[in-house]
Amino acid sequence: FVVKRILKDTMANAMLVKDLAEVAKDTALLHGVQIRVHESPNSSEVVTYAPITLFPSPVPKSAFYQALAVQVHYNTLVDKISQDADFLQKALARYLRSSGLSLTWGSQLISLWFPHFPSIVLGLNRSDYMLDQKNEGCPTLKQIEINTFAASFAGLTSHTPHVHRHILKVAGCVEESQRILDNNSAAGLAEAIAKAWELYGSKRAIVMFLVEENQINIFDQRCIENELWKRNISTKRKRFRDVSKTGSLDPDRKLFVDGQEVAVVYFRNGYMPQNYQSEQDWQARLLMERSLAVKCPDIGTHLAGTKKVQQVLSQPGVLEKFFPEQPQVVEQIRSTFAGLYTLDMGPEGDKTIEMALRTPGLFVLKPQREGGGNNLYGAELQQVLQEVKGSEERMAYILMDKIHPTPVQNILLKRDAPLKISTCLCELGVFGTYVRKGREMVLNKCAGHLLRTKSSEHADGGVAAGVAVLDNPLLL
């Protein structure tokens, strides 16, 4: 109601829209909600505000707190899966062999996975949801996916509450501004990294951020780095080529890069096939995986976040395997599952394809790709399924029920984009952190949240893909 009232006022006063937008942009830059922009290959780098909504978007309080409460169970689930070699091999064997992931990508990941498990495990993940309004009654929380590798925007979303609180105050909604929660996700992730660093046991060792060659979202990462520096923990940013050139293991398998001992490798790069440009990049990943350094994620955790594992977990009896004699935990997790269907070769996969081709508007076809903008809908879904239905290539995908969230209205602030009211869809993310040493879970927390909003004209795509923008939940 509050957002609708504000939007009604702004529709009648274009100057007010412009003034509020300028305040929002300035406030975002003031509070560090910013990204790096490369104007051209030869130009200087510039900084601009990160894409953001002008106003916070309404989110039901009950669904929001449900997502926060279930996160510690998702942390436990991911950790248990990462240790279960038999489960992962059975779930992924045929999936990784299919050409959809590329034979090189799949075989390389498997080849890096060793039968021994790391003594210290660090997990920084993010579970993403939408509110499904398909059936009558209250919207239900449904998981889109869980990200176990380079879950982003914990840094920037720690600062977005300042922006929307200020905008609501400027718009005359002081009381409503108090409904926006504090959200220090960056400190939450840094706390878990610091705990892993501490357990590693060397004050001289650094936390190494493994990053891309050209990093647009650098300030998101800097927020976490700064939280670590506050704890007197040194950080360095390195790339695959740096590890390849100067990385080595000593006789005790301690990792050194540029002569410095590395306690924690925090991967912000390496989750897509194109991130590995050469055999040297794969050898660098292998070197890090073999080392005593704490990897975030290690290979087992990386594989636990695949779409195929998500689909297998939805099958009857699978969650019970990981949570024996814990029916309440199983129910909490299962209640967030959307319908998920296999495309494996055989009668069940054939039935899935027939169902999807008959009613494509009800489903999403999901390949094993990260970064947003990869899912297939409607006519594209039909075309791809027709092409792969008779071959093993179809096993590179899973099928999921299409979620129907309730649309909201907002104004999306993007660099050089016109100011207009858009019909939007929201996606809620919840950050989870855990640290395990041996068999003991020494930290398991919900570390914060993220709301991303996009125009309803876009079927798929996140902030990194240039489609969604950062938002804040206005709890109702």
Tens of pLDDT, residue by residue over 114-130, are 556 789 999 999 999 99
How many angstroms from the chain centroid is the CA of residue 421? 27
Residue 42 labeled ligand binder: no
What is the mean pLDDT of the segment spanning 424-431? 97
Known binder of ligand: residue 334? no
Whether a cis peptide bond, with omega within 30° of 0, leads into 324 is no
What is the pTM for the complete model shown?
0.93
Greatest extent of the chain over all pairs of C-alpha atoms, in Å: 71
Asked, for residue 146, whether it belongs to a domain, the answer is yes
Q: Is residue 81 part of a domain?
A: yes
pLDDT at 13: 67
381 located within any domain: no
The SS3 assignment for 179 reads coil
**Residues recognised as catalytic:** 126, 145, 147, 152, 307, 366, 370-371, 452
Q: Is residue 156 part of a domain?
A: yes
Range of the domain at 107: 1-338+403-475
For residue 82 the two structure tokens come to: 């990462």
Residues 6 or more apart from 264 whose CB is under 8 A from it? Answer: 122, 193, 196, 197, 200, 207, 208, 293, 294, 295, 296
| 402 annotated ligand binder | yes
383 within 8 A of 397, measured Cβ to Cβ: no
In a domain, 373, yes or no: no
Encoded tokens for 422: 């858009």
Position 355 in a domain: no
Number of domains in the chain: 1
Q: Which among 50, 299, 17 is positioned nearest to 158, based on CA atoms?
A: 50
269 is in an annotated binding site: no
Annotated binding-site residue? 460: yes
Q: Give a yes or no: residue 345 inside a domain.
A: no
252 Cβ neighbours under 8 A, 6+ residues apart: 292
Confidence of residue 99 (pLDDT cuts 50, 70, 90): very low
Question: pLDDT, tens digit, for every residue of 216-273?
Answer: 899 999 999 999 999 999 999 999 999 999 999 999 999 999 999 999 999 999 988 8
Residue 375: inside a domain: no
DSSP characters over 70-136: HHHHHHHHHHHHHH-HHHHHHHHHHHHHSTTS-HHHHHHHHHH--SS--SEEEEEEEEEEEEE-SSS
pLDDT, tens digit (0-9, with 9 covering 90-100), for 368-423? 776 566 889 999 999 999 999 998 889 889 999 999 998 999 999 998 888 898 99
